[in-house]
Amino acid sequence: MKSLSELREEIDRIDREILALLNRRARLAQEVGEIKKKKGLPFYVPGREAKILSKLEEINQGPLPPESIRAIFREIISACRALEEPTKVAFLGPQATFTHLAALKHFGTSSDLRPMDSIQEVFDEVEKGRVDYGVVPIENSIEGIVNYTIDMFLDTDLKISGEIFVSVNLHLMSKEAELSKVKKVYSHRHAIAQARKWLSENLPKIEVEEVSSTAKAAELASREPGTAAIASEAAALLYDLNILAKNIQELSKNFTRFLVIGKTDSEFPSGRDKTSVMFSTKHVAGALFKALQPFAVYDVNLSKIESRPTKKKPWEYVFFVDIEGHRKEDRVAKALEELKETCSFFKILGSYPAGFKE
């Protein structure tokens, strides 16, 4: 068996090799960046990034698990992309919200991430070209759809270029060191709903106040003695709070799904894609059935359907549908073409690499 110092020497040698290889990779990315600059091509290519990650996952023989491989290579790609041109990303802030975590997970720490006060502002920043992309929440596995985000697609021409899943682990945190000192709890509406059972069992008589985000709650808890927040671990770190109770959400598997919005979608199929469309049907019997039939005919799986009022005329609805596959795949293209023919209104919101639920 090798000794501790022998093992560490070997690790040092390998780290030097990794470093040299990383810089070789970075120089190649710089060359790619030069070509893109000359040709006016986008620096961020979501389909290519997703393909790199899934290929590596395929050949990975461990012991590193797939989620570690993805996290490491996302950071490598983020650093290489930043050498070409730092990606500017607006997200629903403040710092340490779950949307911030989603933006970091997707674009990596070498990106220029900018917190915004509202979902509307994220859309505006992207529309005005002040940032390249935006990250907004679209649905939670317990609480359902974020109406505000989905309705924004009625009034914008922005496209979806990616999706991100973040597992929502909620903790109770405070400047106080003991639960008995907590007299008031702050959090976001969704987080309070998800922790309701824990709150009624552990802090039954305590005042609970809704605020705009879990991160805002943590900020308030850091300033007001005797208060606590329900928020993420990142918020506890940022505001230097003690975690008094871990994972207080009702279900241990609780995800929020986020969308990446931009001027274009992910143009090239990655092999593991989704497509989002919105449409309205004509007011005739069986219209929705006829609209969705092409998906069955061409064997295209529907992963979600949501209806929302158009807000133009009472009782008129628009449907939002997510399907598995890229709009450039033959069977998807055919199904979408036939769907379009049955609709009074139809728009492709974008094709994009499917996110990883981890």
CB of 126 within 8 A of CB of 246?
Answer: no
In angstroms, the CA 215 to CA 114 distance is 15
Q: Please, which residue, 32 or 195, has the CB nearer to ligand PRE?
A: 32
231: how many CB neighbours lie within 10 A of its CB? 31
Whether 256 is a known active-site residue: answer: yes
Q: Which residues share a beta bridge with 91?
A: 115, 135
CB of 47 to ligand PRE, least distance (A): 9
The residue at minimum Cβ distance from ligand PRE is 80
CB of 185 within 8 A of CB of 172?
Answer: yes
For binding to ligand PRE (CB under 6 A), which residues are involved? 29, 32, 44-45, 48-49, 52, 77, 80-81, 84
CB of 219 within 8 A of CB of 94?
Answer: yes
CB of 52 to ligand PRE, least distance (A): 6
Which listed residue (91, 107, 258, 320) is catalytic? 258
Q: Please, which residue, 103 or 235, has the CB nearer to ligand PRE?
A: 103
Q: Can you list the alpha helix ranges (DSSP code H) found in the chain?
A: 4-39, 46-59, 66-84, 98-107, 119-127, 147-152, 189-194, 196-202, 214-223, 233-238, 287-297, 330-342
Whether 258 is a known active-site residue: answer: yes
Q: Please, which residue, 346 or 356, has the CB nearer to ligand PRE?
A: 356
Which listed residue (214, 256, 281, 342) is catalytic? 256
CB of 164 to ligand PRE, least distance (A): 15
SS3 176: coil
Q: Please, which residue, 93 or 353, has the CB nearer to ligand PRE?
A: 353
CB of 119 to ligand PRE, least distance (A): 25
Q: Among all residues, which ones are annotated catalytic? A: 256, 258
